[in-house]
């Protein structure tokens, strides 16, 4: 039966070809069996730009997922031929006009004051070279996996560059030490080195931060302040009954990347790249966490796209005589990045320990 069906299929194919040939359509018939390829130098059959776009999108997607510290900064793209210095500008608020006007007399008026804050950018990047033998023999899609790994690296690199600038801010609060047992008392802490395992992030401490931000009229971001917190640091605060999970929000449609919940009007965003210190300047054998609280326009960053995050894919043979046997291809990335704190009062870094994790976690 199977042999008969195969014979019948071949007969139909041959009959169709004969009929189409008689009508001048044999070229169309053969074209039905043509296979689209990604040849690099074939006329009217070059899909290599599509392959480049595919890997470019994958790297950018992987990078964007890591940029937690970027998403709340004031964006300043770098124009072409615009130099290496990024300028962020802020207007000084006007003082209250408490002097009564004199009837019929025009007052002297006021003046604007703009402060320019500058930061010098730097370029970062990395690449991986792949051999032709590796691409031909590897079980996995090596180029695709390499692109994803580099994308993660690019995102973490740029996010860390921004994070380190923010973690060096001068507006700092230290969690107080808490005594054990019922009716615990607080002991104020004035330096990182004086923290201990009881100096943890609490709801009361979050409320103090909110009060300070409100006192300087720090503008909210979409109605709330934001905090970037490490997963180990969130352990203590999430156990509080006042914690609100995102699925309990009134509006669940506009969540931030990495958002995990809210308390006291602060929306918490989780990141494993939230700053951790250990060693010099820290309490003995304990790590210290830095949780950043801020309002709108507290800091600025270079826009990732405007800053030029670029995927570079080099095909085998593109190096000319440097690769005479077409043995190597490569994929890499480069980007220009910087950040700057614009309003110190609008950003508060709370340094504290974790009751469970400070004894073991490493610095980042």
- Residue spans per domain, the chain: 48-91+115-165+302-340, 173-298+342-352
Q: What is the DSSP letter of 274?
A: S
159 or 60: which leads in pLDDT: 159
Asked whether this chain's domains 48-91+115-165+302-340 and 173-298+342-352 adopt the same fold, the reply is no
**Residue 331 to residues 50, 52, 63, 115, 309, Cα–Cα distance (Å):** 15, 10, 15, 41, 13
Strands 85-91 and 114-120: antiparallel
| pLDDT at residue 39 in the model | 46
Contact 170, 81 (CB under 8 A): no
How far is it, in rounded angstroms, from Cα 320 to Cα 234? 53
Among 43-52, 185-194, 337-346, 352-361, which is the least confidently predicted range? 43-52
Count CA within 13 A, CB hemisphere, residue 158. Answer: 35
For residue 281, pLDDT over 90 is answered with yes
Mean pLDDT of all residues belonging to the chain: 80
How far is it, in rounded angstroms, from Cα 100 to Cα 226? 39
Q: Which residues face 312 on adjacent strands?
A: 332
> At the top level of CATH, which class does the domain 48-91+115-165+302-340 belong to?
alpha beta
| pLDDT at residue 33 in the model | 47
**Per-residue pLDDT tens digits for 153-183:** 988 898 999 999 999 999 999 999 988 766 6
Tokens of 344: 């110190």
**Per-residue pLDDT tens digits for 304-322:** 555 567 888 887 878 777 7
| pLDDT at residue 117 in the model | 82
| pLDDT at residue 59 in the model | 66
How far is it, in rounded angstroms, from Cα 64 to Cα 309? 10
| pLDDT at residue 36 in the model | 44
Give the total residue count for the chain.
Answer: 364
Strands 122-131 and 328-337: antiparallel
Tokens of 281: 């300047």
How far is it, in rounded angstroms, from Cα 237 to Cα 350? 13
| pLDDT at residue 140 in the model | 53
**Cα–Cα–Cα angle for 341, 342, 347, nearest 5°?**
65
Q: For the chain, how are helix, strand and coil distributed in percent, rounded to 5? A: 30, 25, 45
With tokens 């199977």, the residue in question is 2
Phi, psi angle pair for 270, to nearest 5°:
-90, 140
Among 84-88, 179-183, 194-198, 330-334, which is the least confidently predicted range? 179-183
User: Which pTM does this prediction carry?
Assistant: 0.75
**Per-residue pLDDT tens digits for 224-261:** 999 999 999 988 888 777 787 776 766 666 778 788 88
> At the top level of CATH, which class does the domain 173-298+342-352 belong to?
alpha beta
Among 19-23, 136-140, 288-292, 296-300, which is the least confidently predicted range? 19-23
Tokens of 205: 């401490």
| pLDDT at residue 218 in the model | 94
| pLDDT at residue 6 in the model | 52
Tokens of 130: 């792949």
Kindly state the average pLDDT of the residues 275-284: 94
**Per-residue pLDDT tens digits for 11-59:** 544 555 554 455 554 445 445 444 444 444 555 544 455 455 666 667 6
Beta strands in the chain (DSSP E): 74-75, 85-91, 114-120, 122-131, 172-174, 177-178, 186-187, 225-229, 259-263, 266-270, 276-277, 288-294, 299-301, 310-314, 328-337, 339-341, 347-352
């Amino acid at each position: 039966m199977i042999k008969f069906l195969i014979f019948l299929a071949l007969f139909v194919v041959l009959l169709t070809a004969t009929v189409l040939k008689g009508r001048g359509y044999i070229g169309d018939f053969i074209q039905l069996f043509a296979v689209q390829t990604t040849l690099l130098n074939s006329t009217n059959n070059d899909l290599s730009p599509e392959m480049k776009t595919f890997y470019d999108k994958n790297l950018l997607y992987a990078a964007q997922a890591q940029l937690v510290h970027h998403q709340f900064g004031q964006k300043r793209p770098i124009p072409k031929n615009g130099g290496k210095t990024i300028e962020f500008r802020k207007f000084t608020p006007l003082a209250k006009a408490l002097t009564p006007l004199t009837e019929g007399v025009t007052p002297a008026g006021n003046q604007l004051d703009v402060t320019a804050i500058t930061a010098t950018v730097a370029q970062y990047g990395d690449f991986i070279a792949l051999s032709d033998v590796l691409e031909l023999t590897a079980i996995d899609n090596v180029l695709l996996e390499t692109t994803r790994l580099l994308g993660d690296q690019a995102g973490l690199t740029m996010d860390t560059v921004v994070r380190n600038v923010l973690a060096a801010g001068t507006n700092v609060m230290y969690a107080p030490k808490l005594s054990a047992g019922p009716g615990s008392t607080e002991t104020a802490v004035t330096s990182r080195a004086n923290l201990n395992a009881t100096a943890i992030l609490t709801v009361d401490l979050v409320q103090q931060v909110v009060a300070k931000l409100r006192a300087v009229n720090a503008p909210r971001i979409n109605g709330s302040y934001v905090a970037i917190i490490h997963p180990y640091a969130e352990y203590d605060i999430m156990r509080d009954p006042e914690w609100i999970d995102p699925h309990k929000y009134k509006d669940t449609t506009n969540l931030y990347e990495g958002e995990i919940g809210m308390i006291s009007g602060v929306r918490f965003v989780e990141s494993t790249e939230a700053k951790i210190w250990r060693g010099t300047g820290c309490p003995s054998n304990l790590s210290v966490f830095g949780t950043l609280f801020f309002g709108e326009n507290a800091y600025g960053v270079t826009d990732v796209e405007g800053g030029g995050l670029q995927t570079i894919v080099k095909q085998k043979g593109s190096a000319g005589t440097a690769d005479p046997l077409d043995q190597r291809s490569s994929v890499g990335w480069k980007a220009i990045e910087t950040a700057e704190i614009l309003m110190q009062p609008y950003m508060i870094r709370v340094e504290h320990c974790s009751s469970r994790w400070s004894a073991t976690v490493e610095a980042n």
